[in-house]
Amino acid sequence: MASLTKAFHKEPYPAISPSLPSLSQATKTVLITGGSTGIGYAIARAFASASASLVVILGRRPDLVCSAASRLTAELPGFKGKIVGRPCDISDSSSVAVLWSDLEKEGIVVDVLVLNAAHTSNPGPILQLGQDEVWADYIMNVRANLDLVERFSKQNERTPNGKKKSIINLSTMAIHNFAIAGSRPNYTATKNAGTLLLQQIARDTPVEKIQIISFHPGLILTEGNRRIGLDEKSAPWDDENLPGHFAIWAASPDAAFLHGRFVWANWDVDELRTGELRERIDNDPDYLKVGVKGL
């Protein structure tokens, strides 16, 4: 697979290890949508391994979100913080309102927001899906994320705790490689719209206040991919801990130079932050951003 960096990672590697002091998430509270399975669960594991004080995972299935939090706590016996699961349907704004109101009542201020849960519509041309199915992708992949980002940002204004904030957006290579999502053009359109939305929000948000980075997590064999019929043989799958560890790097001050941009978790962070690539990133405000090809 073509890579921007010479090194193309399929597994975690030392430069993004949660044990690095520079990537420590100590004292941070992290909120992860869709954290009970797949990539979200691996991201929760990485933040806990990097010593976050509180990791909150969200999902619609109450039993699963609570059992996932307990399972992860049991996986990390040395972890001194807390991992909690909260049922929340992020496509339902009243459910999201209750969540943030409860967090406020409990005095919880979120420092890192991970936008991970997504909706993947049925396969088929957009004009054959029907508006409701098309819109379900927009509700999750655009509106729900905007709802969360707005509340996260307002909480920051209401209860400043002096800590720099981060938003990590789980995007996909399908926002630029339209062929990869093949039969699901609507997924591509809505993930692209969601990534552009975050890019535009980043444009008007100083990185010192909220650092915003979108990334493709690699190809991970998750529950969601199994649900659409994929299995071990369908793709050269990557290790789920690659996006997990990459997420903590993306939330760290090390990654501030990527504010508002889109990268792949497979790309080597040392090559991104140094040399020619770093020079291009620093000098070209449109590089690694959503736009129109050829102009």
Ligand X SMILES: NC(=O)c1ccc[n+]([C@@H]2O[C@H](COP(=O)([O-])OP(=O)(O)OC[C@H]3O[C@@H](n4cnc5c(N)ncnc54)[C@H](OP(=O)(O)O)[C@@H]3O)[C@@H](O)[C@H]2O)c1
Interacting residues with ligand X (CB under 6 A): 33-34, 36-40, 58-61, 64, 88-91, 116-118, 140, 170, 172, 191, 216-217, 219-220, 222-225
Cβ-based nearer residue to ligand X, 239 or 270: 239
CB of residue 121 vs ligand X: minimum separation in angstroms?
12
CB of residue 97 vs ligand X: minimum separation in angstroms?
14
Distance CA 14, CA 92 (A): 39
Cβ-based nearer residue to ligand X, 216 or 261: 216
Cβ-based nearer residue to ligand X, 18 or 59: 59
CB of residue 139 vs ligand X: minimum separation in angstroms?
9
β-strand partners of 130: none
Cβ-based nearer residue to ligand X, 89 or 270: 89
Cβ-based nearer residue to ligand X, 66 or 126: 66
Cβ-based nearer residue to ligand X, 115 or 277: 115
CB of residue 220 vs ligand X: minimum separation in angstroms?
4
CB of residue 161 vs ligand X: minimum separation in angstroms?
25
What is the side-by-side order of every strand in the sheet holding 82-87?
Answer: 82-87, 54-59, 29-33, 112-115, 165-170, 210-216, 262-264
Distance CA 120, CA 184 (A): 8
β-strand partners of 58: 33, 86
**What are the structure tokens assigned to 236, written together?**
């050269």
CB of residue 223 vs ligand X: minimum separation in angstroms?
4
CB of residue 52 vs ligand X: minimum separation in angstroms?
19
Cβ-based nearer residue to ligand X, 33 or 51: 33
**What are the structure tokens assigned to 265, written together?**
């978790």
